[in-house]
Amino acid sequence: MKITRKIRIILILSLVLLNISCDQISKNVVRQTIEPYERIEVFKDSFVLTKVENTGAAYSLGSDLAPILKILLLQILPILVLLLLLRQILIKTNYSRETIIGFAFIIGGGIGNLFDRIVYGSVTDFLILDLGIIKTEIFNLADVSIFLGSILVLITTFFNKKETIFKEKIQ
């Protein structure tokens, strides 16, 4: 079944907006209801809510940069990369459905965190997981979108390459 170009673009943009919306709604709830560094144990130490304003990137990298460098590296560069990626998935039609979904998640999460940096000067992080073998630093739903999108793109790329190699060997 072939999807028309307009419907395809609407679906991609809707998925991006869904990711941004989930992220921003969750952050607004946290900003309004949780005090900075307050610790709410949802499931003992396994799932914790807290609120931290991160002025850098992941793991607070870049939080000590000069203001102009912060703007260049944490705002302008990400805007350019996200716009380029969005342009690619909107224009190129040879990506698999899974790759497009993965990139839409990455773009949505990236825009969610970028919005925070531009509007608030920091990114609101509020989730901590400790499941024994899986222990995280503090993160937010935009980070989840970026992570899941990246995993989906990597898995899809890996299996598509494996399938291509297998087909080439048969021929």
Q: CA-CA distances (angstroms) from residue 151 to 42, 85, 156?
A: 26, 16, 8
The residues pairing with 130 across neighbouring beta strands, listed in sequence order, are 135
Active-site choice (23, 45, 130, 143): 143
In angstroms, the CA 131 to CA 138 distance is 14
Q: Which two tokens stand for residue 28?
A: 């607004």
Active-site choice (23, 116, 125, 130): 125
143 noted as active-site residue:
yes
23 noted as active-site residue:
no
* Strand order through the sheet with 123-129: 40-43, 47-54, 123-129
Q: Which two tokens stand for residue 57?
A: 């990137």
Give the residue numbers marked as catalytic: 125, 143
